[in-house]
């Protein structure tokens, strides 16, 4: 028996333990950086062939297919970037006497436990265990959201915990209904929550029970994914958490809930074609509309980025909602594009917040003169996130638009373009004055190669995904999309 999956999960757990017992401050962040880099490399080495060749790893409780591989590689990559950025970000706060060694240990301990839990979501075959791990991600990340222990962060962490727990409870009811239906078909209680088994008997599941279950599952996990109108925890949590954690919440945590929905989406589309996809299409457009309205009227930079995350989870949901192999391809590509792009924006917000001491965009001016590196990164990442070429999000949105037109959904395609134009206008309205305005404040870019490296690496990645995606990678996305479309495991 090989131990590939255990290796992916044990490295962040080891990092959490070492960070928790590190004797000196300067060791803590380096342990996290080195081990998260090792985890990213091992994850890509293991999952790359699975994604490219369409193979599957399955043993014991583990199950990793092409879909899992995409999410695993994205999560481990973003986790490495967040570890690097945290080094300088927390170092700055330590110099300003905002952090103690104890709180820094707690930060890295929770960060690495959080990463391990998120990676675990994508590696198990039982949908029941997936639910347990999703709940674990909520509990661990609650400490990170409320890390600063002031009134706002404490309120945001409680709001996050309560709303997501209610959502997860609804999802549990839905999973129980699927289990009840599966036991009647399989006759074996022990395997009735095993995802490959569920897919194999999906066509025999009770359609009435399954419809009720899917409503519960999509609303429940959708709450954690940030679907509007259940999204209300998200802007508060993202704005109050330490900025590196905001990036992690946006780029990877939402993916965990989305992945859980997709496992059941595949089962539902086999048993009751069109039901789950219609729900996702509705939630996708509601999320896109809500995000567009709030982005246009935002003042808080991190809250605006949080609504941008709701926008992109909406776009991804629309892709799965259309339900063609082309739209699923676009949705999967959007998952990667958003996860690689959004951390750059949050890292820019972190640089600005530490220098200007505010998240209010009306009070931030003169970035071009005072913080040229941050200004360049903010300009590039803003253009990327609103879907301008030559960046990865543009490819995803363009593919999504083509798939909608290909499916004959012309009205929805026009509606999506209008909402994206509103979002583009909102970002331009808020970001442009920050870059060009005048200010008396004396600010400067944070120093340090480690702090700058995530900007450069992620920017390079979104340009490569926008311009030079290798044919083998495109084939990998196509293969996973076809498997989801056809319900093949």
Question: Tens digits of per-residue pLDDT, 292-304?
Answer: 999 999 999 999 9
Contact residues for 65 (Cβ-Cβ < 8 A; gap 6+): 50, 56, 480, 483, 489
- Which pLDDT tens digit goes with each residue over 168-181? 999 999 999 999 99
Whether 26 has a pLDDT exceeding 80, the answer reads: no
For residue 21, the cross-strand partners are: none
Q: How confident is the model at residue 489 (pLDDT cuts 50, 70, 90)?
A: low
- Give CA–CA dist 354/86, Å, rounded: 13
For residue 124, the cross-strand partners are: 62
Task: Identify which of 152, 123, 114, 139 has the alpha carbon closest to the alpha carbon of residue 247.
Answer: 114
- Give CA–CA dist 337/345, Å, rounded: 13
Angle between helices 301-322 and 233-240 (to 10 degrees): 130
Whether 1 has a pLDDT exceeding 70, the answer reads: no
- Which pLDDT tens digit goes with each residue over 128-139? 999 999 999 999
What is the chain's Cα-based Rg? 21
Average pLDDT, the chain: 95
121 vs 254, 276, 385, CA distance in Å? 12, 21, 26
**DSSP designation for 440:** -
Q: How confident is the model at residue 384 (pLDDT cuts 50, 70, 90)?
A: very high
Residues above pLDDT 90, as percent of the chain: 90
For residue 62, the cross-strand partners are: 59, 124
The dihedral built from the CA positions of residue 189, 190, 194 and 200, taken in this order, carries a sign that is negative
């Amino acid at each position: 028996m090989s131990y590939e999956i255990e290796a992916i999960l044990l490295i962040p757990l080891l990092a959490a333990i070492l960070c928790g017992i590190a004797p000196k401050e300067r060791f803590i962040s380096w342990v996290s950086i080195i081990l998260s880099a090792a985890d990213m490399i091992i994850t890509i080495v293991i999952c790359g062939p699975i994604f490219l060749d369409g193979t599957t790893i399955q043993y014991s409780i583990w199950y990793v297919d092409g879909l899992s591989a995409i999410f695993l590689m994205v999560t481990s990559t973003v986790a490495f970037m967040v570890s690097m950025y945290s080094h300088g970000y927390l170092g700055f706060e330590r110099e300003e006497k905002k952090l103690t060694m104890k709180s820094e240990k707690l930060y890295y301990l929770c960060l690495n436990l959080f990463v391990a839990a998120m990676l675990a979501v994508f590696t198990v075959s039982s949908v029941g265990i997936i639910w347990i791990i999703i709940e674990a991600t909520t509990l661990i990340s609650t400490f990170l959201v409320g890390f600063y222990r002031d009134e706002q962060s404490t309120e945001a962490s409680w709001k996050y915990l309560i709303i997501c727990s209610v959502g997860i409870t609804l999802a549990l009811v839905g999973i129980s209904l699927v289990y009840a239906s599966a036991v009647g078909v399989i006759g074996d209680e022990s395997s009735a929550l095993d995802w490959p088994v569920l897919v194999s008997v999906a066509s025999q599941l009770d359609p009435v029970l399954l419809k009720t279950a899917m409503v519960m599952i999509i609303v429940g996990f959708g709450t954690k994914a940030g679907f509007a109108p259940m999204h209300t925890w998200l802007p508060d949590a993202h704005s109050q958490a330490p900025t590196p954690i905001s990036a992690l919440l946006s780029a990877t945590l939402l993916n965990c809930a989305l992945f859980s929905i997709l496992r059941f989406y595949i089962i539902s589309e086999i048993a009751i074609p069109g039901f789950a996809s219609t729900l996702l299409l509705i939630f996708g457009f509601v999320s896109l509309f809500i995000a567009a309205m709030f982005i246009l009227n935002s003042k808080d930079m991190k809250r605006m980025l949080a609504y941008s995350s709701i926008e992109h989870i909406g776009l991804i949901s629309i892709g799965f909602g259309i339900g063609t192999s082309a739209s699923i391809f676009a949705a999967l590509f959007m998952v990667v594009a958003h996860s690689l792009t959004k951390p750059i924006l949050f890292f820019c917000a972190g640089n600005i917040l530490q220098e200007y001491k505010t998240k209010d965009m009306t009070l931030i001016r003169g970035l071009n003169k005072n913080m040229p590196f941050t200004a360049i990164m903010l300009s590039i990442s803003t253009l990327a996130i609103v879907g301008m070429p030559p960046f990865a999000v543009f490819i995803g949105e363009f593919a999504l638009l083509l798939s909608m037109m290909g499916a004959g959904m012309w009205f929805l395609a026009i509606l999506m373009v209008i909402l994206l134009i509103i979002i583009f206008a909102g970002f331009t309205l808020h970001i442009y004055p920050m870059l060009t305005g005048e200010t008396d404040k004396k600010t400067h870019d944070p120093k340090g190669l480690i702090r700058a490296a995530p900007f450069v690496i992620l920017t390079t990645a979104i340009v490569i995904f926008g311009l030079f995606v290798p044919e083998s990678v495109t084939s990998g996305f196509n293969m996973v999309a076809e498997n989801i479309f056809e319900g093949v495991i």
